Every structure is written in structure tokens, then in C-alpha cells.
Structure 1
């Protein structure tokens, strides 16, 4: 049977674009369909704009510190429209880069939504149908609303970049990295931030000691954080005619993520007055915005997978094997849509491994173990390997840990603290985990991750001479365990 393409990719995010480009470089005839902006979540509504917002939000405190160091400076009000214009310009530039990379690789781009008609056929929203020997689904994930009454009044992380103005008061619901990052960002930009999380501590899944320090520092820097707390009721203030507001499902049905984010502000999110909220702790407050950061779901809705035999999991994720192949041999999936490790660099590696397996004849599995990651709170949290809690359930461990005020802040009598922590196997001396809470922890953990991935021992860490004076020198100078577990 002849096909229009050797490979058809559905989804123009980091994983899909990389796979398309590399497959085309191997001589395959490749096409890619994307119904939203090229670049996907990371480039357009995730990692990149978020990190630029992290940078922007850090200057208020930096200028206050500069004053304490003797500089005559003053942090005026934050100009959100000016920043937003620059941000949109940068995202436009990056989208153009992604398109050029595909075009220069010979990949046919369809600005359309792709839907599976059968195991080898994709129906496009333009009315066209194309066939391919192999189909790769890389549609990523999307924010999930909690499913409570009136949750359409809230915004998500997709919407935050489209706000016409920053709110004076915002409630952020959730305790994961997205919730905590945006709580710190908006707090740094001068927004009065309240955060509710129904669990006992934010950043579930991270090392307990590390996430405890992050939470403490968030509170000290001005975030009104409430754990064990959730929304039980929300509504518009009584002076607003709610009957004129369309629900999110009515207003945004069938739209792309970016178009949906823009329209949500017309229908209930960006206009219409303040939102009254009742919390599970009995308190009531009024906010200009409520942001839900209550999880993400794989973007598999209306993909036509039921026409192919490819199986979905309980949360809607595409089930794949270790080679990213679905239960339908012609269909593969990479990235967040598979709900394995939801990180952009992982999606890129999965896309590369897919090409190695299918187009280079070199079956390649992606190693999902010991992946460094960072949470861009203020201070940042960097982590690789096992948490203390995970490690002690696996085997006896020694814990090397220190917390201190870094030189830069101690000099001006600031209360900021950092944490350096190593989790070490008693039996083998191998460093099983490294956890850092500090400014630039993301930069540090990338380098520490190399050593942990190589299986370095604590003795080998100790053989490395310290770089002085730095915060990270503590990783190679902790000689005695703080405790065993």
C-alpha cells in the first residue's frame, strides 16, 4: 500500500517538531499538523513565558537588596502592558523559528487540527485527508478545571499571559509546581497573592525538607499560603449580572488553547467584577481573579483514537510501550499526552528515540530514571534522584544536609535561607538523590545531575575541591551525616 507520507505528526510542540525534523533528515517524507501556535505548551504558554515572568518578578526584591548594598535605586510600579508586549514579541519570534526549522527540514506543515480516521489516515479540519505509514501523536496536555460549580469563573495557567491587566488580589488554587511558581511570580510583581492547597504541604512528590523550606520562604516573601484548605463555593459579586456570562464550555467549544484563553476573559474571566470565595476553613474573601492550578490532563479529546484501536488510560493518556508505540502498531505517541514524565526535554528525547527506532532501525528506549528537574519558585528548588522519603523505604540511607543564610543575603541581614541535601546509600555510598533550595538551584542541579546519573559516590563528591565562596560548595564539604534513615 502506498501512503502520502512516511510520517505524519499530530502536534507542533517540542517533541513533535523534533521528531518531524529528525525523521525528515533521514530522508522520510514528513508532514505535521498543528491547529494552534507552533511551539506547543513549553514555548507558547509554559516554560518560556513563565521563566521570563520569573525574571521580571525578581527585580523588585533585587532592587530592595541593592538599596541595602548602598545603591540609590527605587522599584516603581510594574508595567505589565509593556512587559506583555515584549513577551508577545518574543513568543512570535520563537514560533517563527519553529516554523523555519520545519520548513528548512522539508516538513510539510498543515495549520489544521488532525483527527484519526483509521490507523493510517488523518482527517484534517480543512476537509483534507492524508495517509501515512507511521503516525506520531504529540498533542501534549492542557490545564484541568476542578469540576466544581462556577469554576468557569476562574482562569488557568494558559490564561495568565493574556490578562489585559494584573489583578490587585488573586487566589491561586493548587499546590503543585505551577501553582507555587505563579504564586511567587505574581507576588513579585506586586499582586496580593493568596494560595489554597487541600493537601498538608505544597509540592507533593518532592523531598519533604526541601518543599517545607520553599513553603516557608514563600510565606516570608508575602504569599498568603493556606494548606489543608480548598474552595467550597465561588460566585460573582451580587452586583454583577451573571446571567450575561457564558460558561467556559459554551464560549470556548472547539477553539484552540490560545483562542480559548483570549475569549475566556470576555466570558467571565477578565471582565465581570470580583469573585466571592468561601473556603473549607470557613473564611470568605473577594478576589479580582481566581486561578486554578489543579492539574493537567493529556490532550486526547476528539483525536479519533477510538477509530484506531490505540488504548487510553484512566486519565485519558495514550498507553504506549517502552518504545512509545501504542497498541496499534502504526501509531506512536510522545510527550505529555502519554503522561509518563511530563517535561519538555523528556518529550524531545522520546521524539528522538522514536526516530531511532522507526526510521534508523535502531530500537531505542528512553531512560526515564534520574531526570533532573527544577521548580522556579523564589527561591528555586532543584532535584534529581530519590527523595529522603523514597530512599529510606528502599534501603538504609545517610542524610547529609545543611541549611544556612547565603552570604549575599546574610550581609544585609535578610532572612533568606538555602538548603543543600544529599541522600546516600549506606551500603554502596552512592548518592541516590540531591536536593537544592536556593537562588539558581535549577542551574546547580543540572550539573549535580551529571554526577548522580553517573552513579557517583559520596566519597567521589568529597574528592572534588570546593569553589569558594559559593553556596554550592556545601555539596562537597558536608563530611558527617546529619542523620540516618
Structure 2
């Protein structure tokens, strides 16, 4: 018999924690997972899944308009926010149940209360019960950062935006990253007046400059207002329930909601990690090695709480690697090179590998190929919006080191193309591939 109650105790039942729990249990470990909110984590409950469903809903605004050019007699239509909101939340409930069922089917004990670390091999539940485990895995994720200034308590974050009672007429969004630009596109398509406030002079820092500049141009054409190098001074609530937003160097804004999309912070406050000897970085993230181990040999961490790469598929791979290494006698590590990512803006953008500037700094000699075109659907719809594909290659070997694109279905196209980049294929091998015509994806093998 083991000296511990469990072989593995996981704190947090998000994507990384669920994968680690399920795989560890499949390897024969006795596993428990504690979750203080709902099983599924940020992605399923209040992140990428419900947000993507809102993106789909918002796309119908353009699709219904375009349909008339394709011969459809579209009557006057109205959008009902409550219907979309409730259907999205219903899907979240369904997925929450499925995640819980998956854990149960894999003989993982699910404890629906908060757990904190009280020792190298011990956790304490909110009820006061103490549980011991040979290993403890921290998979608590992160939460939205909210800036502090006079009236900032009137702002909301992406956690609350899915539960709005009604569609706001005027939306002020703070931030320049993917969350800010995605919700800017959603609300703009649904008919809200959107103003995006960014304290720097660029959006989507880290993405390829040509692609993010194209998104900015298209977003402005569609009516999204951008205020750069702009900071908040205050938010005042008016008698009618609206808000007056004061910013530095700009005219006041009247808004129905103010949405903060200014980054995410690891959920380590009050978790007892520092007291247990676990080293945290300046942002509160758990410091881990390549095998996800913290400074305490029995305590590991995966996912956003480590602040390495805050992406759901990465958390899942980290959870898998942890469970296989510790319990499955199949040691392996996550390869963080060439991770594809997407921004589900309007239109969406996606990329993998090095941007042009990164490639020039790293390789020196770089060859860049582009395709700037209107999608066939946009041509017939009389929509001037142009897609842009960009291929970045090692100037010496011709190896494709980066692919970046913006346009309809870009994330769907890039997923397959990312395999080629990961495999180290060359521009010549792309060129030798016969185009699939007519499609947008064929531009990948026709770039000049």
C-alpha cells in the first residue's frame, strides 16, 4: 500500500489538468483532481470555445448581406443577442458535463472545491480536509488582468462578456492583443460601435507586421475605431447606466460596456506555493524545467500557470508529456518550435514559425514571397476585402521558416500548412505541389 492517499493530485480541471489526470489514470495511477469552478477550464467555459461560437454568430452579418449577390432573396432580419448568448452557454454546459464524464470514465476522483498546497505532498481542501499525494500537479491556468485607475471597477473582462444581458450599442475595448481584436470584430459585426484603446502604437505584437497591418486596415474600413498611445484616466458611471471614459489626450467616450483585454495573470495567489518552497517568477507564474517540474521535486505545473505559451493545445501536450513521463515510462518533452496560432478576427489571421523581422534577425539572408488577392467569394459579393499570404524562407537553403496569412478560413488552411513548416520543407517543394483549383489554399503553392 502507498504511503499517500493518491499517486497524483491535480489542482485545476482545465485542458492541461484533465489530460494529465486521464492519461495518468490510464497508466494505472490513483488520481484525484480538484476544481473550484467548473470542469473544462478557461478554454471550454469562458474562452476559446464560447468565443469561437460568437465569432461564427457574428459572421452571419456579412454572410446574409453577401447572399443577396449570390441570388438569395434575404428578407429584413434582426439579431437577437439573448438567443446567441443562451445557445452558446448551453453548449458550454454540455461540454462541462462531457469533461466531467471523461474523468469519471477514467476512474479519476473529481473534487469540486478549492484546493491549496500545504506541503510537498499535501493539499488542503476548502472544507479543511487534507489529502496526501506522491505528486502534485498545478494546472490552475490564468485569469484576465484588470488595470487599476479611478473607476476601473466599472470595466468587465472576457470572463463576464459571455453573460451580458443585452447587446451593447457602444463598446470600448482596452488592449491590442488577440482577445481585444477578436471581440472588436465580434461586436462590430453584431452592430455595436467599437473603439479599441491601446497604450502602444501597434496591435498584435509578435505577429507578422504585414498581416497585422492588413487586419488594422480592414478593421478600420469596417468601422472599428482605434486610439493608439492612449491610456485611461477614469471611468464614470452615468445616471442612465452608461459610462463616460476619459483617456489621455483624446475626447471622452460614452460606452455601454468597457472591456479589459490587457493580458492574463497566472492563478497562483493564495495557492500556498511559495510557502511550500515552489519558486515563482515576477508575474506569479510557476517556474518549471523542461519536464514541467517546479523547484520542489514532487510538485509539477502545466499550462497557462507556467506562462510559457498560453495556448490550450500546448497545455494539453504538457499534461500528456507529464503523465507519460512520470507514470507511463514513456519520457518525452514538448517541442515548442513552430507552434501555429490564430486570431479569430474579422477576417481571421493565422501564422506559424518566424515572422519576416524575426527571420532577418536570426538568419540574415531571407527570401519573402507573398500573394495579395481577393477571395473568389468576395469578388462576386462585391466586397473589396483582400487576403494576404506570406511565406518567409531561409535565403540560403530555401527552407520555409514562416507562413502567415489573413483572409477567410486562414486558420483552417494554416493547420495543414504548419505540418510542412514543421517538417522543414522548402519553397521548391511547395512549388512542385499541384494547386487545388479553385481554392484560396492554392495560393500557398503559387507565391512569387
TM-score calculated relative to the size of structure 2: 0.98
Matched position secondary structure for 1:421: strand
Matched position secondary structure for 1:348: helix
The aligned residue for residue 89 of structure 1 is 90
1: distance between equivalents of 2:86 and 2:250?
A: 40
Q: How does 1:177-188 map to 2 (within 5 A)?
A: 177-188=178-189
1: distance between equivalents of 2:332 and 2:199?
A: 40
Residue 296 of structure 1, aligned match among 256, 259, 264: 264
1:377 aligns to 2:345 (yes or no): yes
Q: How does 1:130-149 map to 2 (within 5 A)?
A: 130-149=131-150
Query: Shift of residue 235 of structure 1?
Result: 1.4
Distance 1:104 1:412, change over 3 A: closer
Matched position secondary structure for 1:306: coil
Residue 362 of structure 2, aligned match among 394, 398, 412: 394
The aligned residue for residue 221 of structure 2 is 220
Residue 410 of structure 1, aligned match among 379, 382, 389: 379
Where does the alignment leave 5 or more consecutive residues of structure 2 unmatched? none
2: distance between equivalents of 1:424 and 1:99?
A: 45
Matched position secondary structure for 1:351: helix
Query: Shift of residue 75 of structure 1?
Result: 5.4
Q: How does 1:34-183 map to 2 (within 5 A)?
A: 34-74=35-75, 76-183=77-184
1:457 aligns to 2:423 (yes or no): no
Q: Deviations over 1:450-480 (max 9, x none)?
A: 000000011111111001111121110124x
What is the count of residue pairs matched by the alignment?
A: 446
Query: Would you say the 8 A contact 1:64–1:75 is kept in 2?
Result: no
2: distance between equivalents of 1:288 and 1:60?
A: 21
Once structures 1 and 2 are overlaid, which stretch shifts more, 195-204 or 222-231? 222-231
Query: Would you say the 8 A contact 1:234–1:276 is kept in 2?
Result: yes
Query: Shift of residue 77 of structure 1?
Result: 2.3
Q: How does 1:191-202 map to 2 (within 5 A)?
A: 191-202=192-203
Once structures 1 and 2 are overlaid, which stretch shifts more, 281-290 or 101-110? 281-290
2: distance between equivalents of 1:89 and 1:411?
A: 36
Matched position secondary structure for 2:158: coil
Q: How does 1:26-37 map to 2 (within 5 A)?
A: 26-37=27-38
Residue 423 of structure 1, aligned match among 359, 384, 392: 392
Where does the alignment leave 5 or more consecutive residues of structure 1 unmatched? 240-271, 480-485
Residue 448 of structure 1, aligned match among 411, 417, 426: 417
RMSD: 1.1
Matched position secondary structure for 1:307: coil
Matched position secondary structure for 1:142: strand
Query: Would you say the 8 A contact 2:150–2:233 is kept in 1?
Result: no
2: distance between equivalents of 1:401 and 1:16?
A: 40
Query: Would you say the 8 A contact 1:236–1:275 is kept in 2?
Result: yes
Distance 1:38 1:403, change over 3 A: same
Matched position secondary structure for 1:462: helix
2: distance between equivalents of 1:56 and 1:356?
A: 39
Query: Shift of residue 188 of structure 1?
Result: 1.1
Matched position secondary structure for 1:460: helix
Query: Would you say the 8 A contact 1:136–1:331 is kept in 2?
Result: yes
Residue 284 of structure 2, aligned match among 293, 305, 316: 316
Matched position secondary structure for 1:439: coil
Query: Would you say the 8 A contact 2:374–2:384 is kept in 1?
Result: yes
Query: Shift of residue 151 of structure 1?
Result: 1.0
The aligned residue for residue 471 of structure 1 is 440
Matched position secondary structure for 2:274: helix
Query: Shift of residue 70 of structure 1?
Result: 2.2
Query: Would you say the 8 A contact 2:392–2:403 is kept in 1?
Result: yes
1: distance between equivalents of 2:36 and 2:76?
A: 41
2: distance between equivalents of 1:424 and 1:74?
A: 49
The aligned residue for residue 339 of structure 1 is 307
Query: Shift of residue 226 of structure 1?
Result: 2.2
Query: Would you say the 8 A contact 1:60–1:75 is kept in 2?
Result: no
Matched position secondary structure for 2:406: strand
The aligned residue for residue 264 of structure 1 is none
Query: Would you say the 8 A contact 1:63–1:74 is kept in 2?
Result: no
2: distance between equivalents of 1:411 and 1:226?
A: 33
The aligned residue for residue 247 of structure 1 is none
